[in-house]
Every structure is written in C-alpha cells, then in structure tokens.
Amino acid sequence: MSLKEDMVVMLDYYDKEIVKMICNKYGYDQKEALRKFLVSETYRMLRNPKLAMWDFSPAGIFDMWESEQITGNPRNSLYIRRD
C-alpha cells in the first residue's frame, strides 16, 4: 500500500470510531457527528501525515476533538498535554 492508500484506510477507521463516540456521548445522528468531526481542527491535524497522529488511539483523538469543542483548541487535550 502507498502512503496515500494507508491514509485513506486510517482516516476511514478513525471516522467510524470517532463518529460512534460522538453519537454515543452527545446524541447526534451519524451524519451530524461526521460533519462536526470533519470540519474540526482535530480532523485537519489527523489528516496531516507529518503529525503521525495514527499512533493515537481513537479515544485520544476523541479527547482532542472534545477539548476543541469546549476550549476551541484540540491542543488543550489532556491526552496531548499529559498534565
């Protein structure tokens, strides 16, 4: 597989997992949850191969997304800061 193909598979995996978490916690339908995730800074970071965020668990990515929703910045996530 090429890097581009790997990214497509990886993003598909995270999309499904994160959308499931957003739906479960916030009660959004899948379409709304996916839209909220895809327009986020967290998703832009996930798509950046230089950040290699595919090493993070879906729970870590969800924590970043949730932190972004609350504070406006995914970098405020305890998962990244490890305070």
- pLDDT, one tens digit for every residue, the chain (83 residues): 676 788 889 999 999 999 999 999 999 999 999 999 999 999 999 999 899 888 899 999 999 999 999 999 999 998 777 65
In total, the chain counts a number of residues equal to 83
Closest CA to 45 of 32, 56, 29, 33: 56
Distance of CA 8 to the CA centre of its chain: 14
What is the reported pLDDT for 67? 97
E strands present in the chain: none
